[in-house]
Structure 1
Amino acid sequence: MNSDPLAPLLALTDVADAVEQARTHFDHALGHRALRRHGGQVAAEVSLRSAVASAALEGHDHEREEVRAGTVTEPVLQGALRVAGALPGLSELWSTAPRQVLAKLHVLAAREVTTEAELGRPVDDPVVAARLDVLVNLVTGGTRVSPLVLAAVVHGELLNLRPFAGPSGVVARGAARLVLLSTGFDPRGLLAVDVGHREREPEYVGAAGAFATGTPDGLRSWLRHYMSAVEVGADQLTAIGDETLAA
């Protein structure tokens, strides 16, 4: 009997192939020559686009160039920018103290959106608490599946639980990116998965709802969506690299 609680996900139809395809797509994008001399610039652009996409998925859509110019002061967008900027500094702590990191992400995301008393504090719900316990165990070494699968599960579960008041989706998307950063899958933060979710938003919403059912078909739907979003994120990396070299 396999003791890894997430291993059965890879037996769902087409999931293992989708994971491998997404990984290969990202690996190919990592070969872009812009990353040799302009990696920091590319990573900053990925961070900006990810934040804009995450805020839009929370219902706060803004033009990227206006955000870049610093003219957008809307609180959810500003929170998404703070979360995106903080991820590299939180990646090491994530794998050992995910509760602390989730609280920090919420403080960053929800400032000026929720009350001071709610910042960094999970909702008082025993079901949410129990499922967060399970999630923490997975993040701190309870599974050996691909980081892509773990990131998808962390993302889907936090979207479903909404353990924090306000823009909990921004927290969920930040936590999923932290899985990829902290495991070394994407240590420089070059994969704009949230852009993929935004570009496929109807599918994102539907697949997240399917994930919440906990059925094999629902889990498969979400995992396949997530891997498709990874591929879009990898394509974004290539596009950003091309733009950087052309500038």
Structure 2
Amino acid sequence: MSADPLEWLVGLEGVPSGFAGARDGIDAVLRDRGLRRTSPETTAESLLRGAHASGVLEGSASELAEVREGRGDGIAADAVRVSTELLSLVPVVRRTPLQALARLHAVAGRGSLPEERLGRPRDAESAERLRAIAILFTTETEAPALAVAAVVHAELMAATPFGSHNGIVARAAERLVLAARGVDEKSLVVPEAAHLALRPQYESNLRGYAIGGTPGMHSWLLYATEAYAAAADASPLRSAAD
């Protein structure tokens, strides 16, 4: 048995080249738009845009302007809370990814679930799925870092391990992988906005992944290459340079 749990995806047609192209696009935005000159405010704006988009995908009806002004609905507020703590979890996810995932849910679910259920999987099966997903954060793999982020995202959505806010947790975990594996350490691209812009494809491909089998996984990964290209375009670095 291979020690690399993601070895299977490296041979899928169009996947390695698709992720290589997406990574080149992200690197170009970060480099050409002046990564060294970026400020904490730019990161905060990226995280805010991501929180708004993730909240909408979770059911929020708030506009970005409302979220920016602190007038978003409850789901938007949950997503914003997660975004403000996200980057502090990068060193945690590198050491103890299960702890980081639990913290994401505890922050997102505050006020929605009893205290004793925050950060805890729904049942024994969910706990087992969560442990398997956590391994992906730190495993050595030949798969591109973007592919790892995409698989972590989809696995969390398919497993729905927590009693609430699984989508917000999954999209935050995707950001954590991108930061922890060095793709976007300052969290300047906005994958959540890309998923919202591509919502029909996003949701249909997640359903296909959850059903299982290589075709559904393959389709999700090909979708993810497109989404990460759009995530680079959604970066506040783009609008700052326009």
Q: For residue 95 of structure 2, give the secondary structure of its aligned residue in structure 1.
A: coil
Deviations 1:65-106 (A, max 9, x none): 11111222x222111111111111100110221111111101
**Residue correspondence of structure 1 range 1-247 to structure 2 within 5 A:** 3-72=3-72, 74-126=73-125, 128-237=126-235, 240-245=236-241
Given that residues 121 and 164 in structure 1 are in contact (C-alpha distance below 8 angstroms), is that contact kept between their aligned partners in structure 2?
Answer: yes
Q: Distance in 2 between matches of 1:202 and 1:138?
A: 27
Shift of 1:142: 4.8
How far off its partner does 1:245 sit? 5.0
Q: State how far apart, in whole Å, the 1-side matches of 2:241 and 2:96 are.
A: 39
Q: CA deviation at 1:188?
A: 0.5
Cα distance between partner residues in 1 of 2:226 and 2:56: 19
Please tell me the residue identity of whatever aligns with 2:55. Answer: A
Partners of 1:242 and 1:152 in 2: CA distance? 23
Deviations along 1:106-137, one digit per CA (max 9) or x if unpaired, are 111111222223211111132x2222222222
Q: Distance in 2 between matches of 1:185 and 1:16?
A: 16
| Other structure's SS at 1:95 match | helix
Aligned CA distance change for structure 1 residues 41 and 244 (closer, same or farther; 3 Å):
farther
CA contact (8 A) 1:75 1:112 kept: no
Mean CA deviation greater in 29-38 or 143-152: 29-38
Unaligned runs of 5+ in 2: none
Aligned partners of 1:55 and 1:77 also within 8 Å:
yes
CA distance in 1, matches of 2:91, 2:29: 24
Structure 1 gap segments, 5+ residues each: none
Equivalent-residue separation in structure 2 for 1:60 and 1:222 (angstroms): 24
8 Å contact kept, 1:35–1:42: no
The 3 A distance-change label for structure 1 pair 12 and 242 is closer
Residues 51 and 77 in structure 1, CA contact (< 8 A), matched pair in contact too: yes
Moved over 6 A (4+): none
Aligned equivalents of 1:232 and 1:33: distance in 2?
A: 16
- Tell me which amino acid in the other structure corresponds to 1:78: A
How far 1:48 sits from its partner (Å)? Answer: 0.6
TM-score by length of 1: 0.92
Cα distance in 2 between the residues matched to 1:233 and 1:191: 5
Contact 1:76 1:110 in 2 (8 A): no
Count of residue pairs the alignment pairs up: 242
Kept in 2: contact 1:32–1:241 (CA 8 A): no
TM-score, normalization: structure 2?
0.94
Whole-angstrom distance in 1 between the partners of 2:183 and 2:241: 25
Give the letter aligned to residue 86 of structure 2. Answer: L
Mapped contact 1:76–1:113 kept (Cα < 8 A):
no
CA distance in 2, matches of 1:31, 1:11: 29
Q: Which amino acid in the other structure matches residue 25 of structure 2? A: H
CA distance in structure 2 between the aligned counterparts of 1:241 and 1:14, rounded to whole angstroms = 28
- Alpha-carbon distance, 1:138 to partner: 2.2
Q: Which amino acid aligns with 2:119?
A: G
Aligned sequence identity (%): 37
The whole-number CA distance in structure 2 between the counterparts of 1:187 and 1:204 is 24
User: In the alignment, is the contact (CA less than 8 A) between 1:94 and 1:101 conserved in 2?
Assistant: yes
